[in-house]
Amino acid sequence: MKKQIFYRIFFYVLGLLILALGLILNTKAGLGVSPIISVSYSVAHIFGLNFGNTTMFLYCVFVLAQLVLHGIQWKQHPETDSRFVLLMDVLQIPLSLIFTRFLNLFGAFFPDLSAGAAGWTDRLPLCLVVLLLAILCTGMGASMSLSMRIVPNPGDGIVQTLSDCTHRSVGFTKNCFDLCNITLTVLLGLLLAGHLVGVGLGTVLAVVGVGRVIALFYYLAGQKIDRLSGMAA
């Protein structure tokens, strides 16, 4: 039992670290970032702010939205005990603080392969490799951390909450949420910078690729990880 708890915490933390690495590599490739961080990335880029801090603020907005939506559900169904759900919402705030510090740590470690810099065509193959690694890490990290069912990342938490409230599938809700993030990012870039910021080939490939990586990783390693952590049905 103790070994299972250890593995559950280990895979959860490892998954979050790999996820943070994937998100940062996504920003460093210079080909467009993942939809879930596109808004915070564009704001940080346009106003010269710290990416980890803007992501922290965005995550707090996600948590606040979850609290409001779950509060409404609780009022509509007072017979249900929602205290655990609300606790999981609140715990996403300290998780976000730690997670975004790792974003800053990884961000300071890896160089920026900006596609807008002079001679970027020479670095395009490297940018594509970094983008591929970013998608792989994002999918693996998300799969590993989500399957441990501890405290969700706010980006995943808001999607699950919206799915529950609208009675739509998580996949459909995720696609709609990604589209909203991309649309807002495009508007921010065009209105405040006069050009697209953070949206490009990498954004499209992330939308298509991350979900496939999550499914593939779970097929290859998910069942073994679930057994070790005691999460197997």
Give pLDDT tens digits for 198-211.
999 999 999 999 98
Phi first, then psi, for residue 106 (nearest 5°) are: -65, -35
Is there a contact between 184 and 37 (Cβ–Cβ < 8 Å)? no
* Structure tokens belonging to residue 29: 């490739």
Number of compact structural domains in the chain: 1
Range of the domain at 219: 2-229
pLDDT at 32: 92
Summarize pLDDT for 167-198 with one digit per residue, the tens. Answer: 888 888 888 999 999 999 999 999 999 999 99
Provide the residue type at 227 as one letter.
R
Please state the pTM of the whole predicted model: 0.91
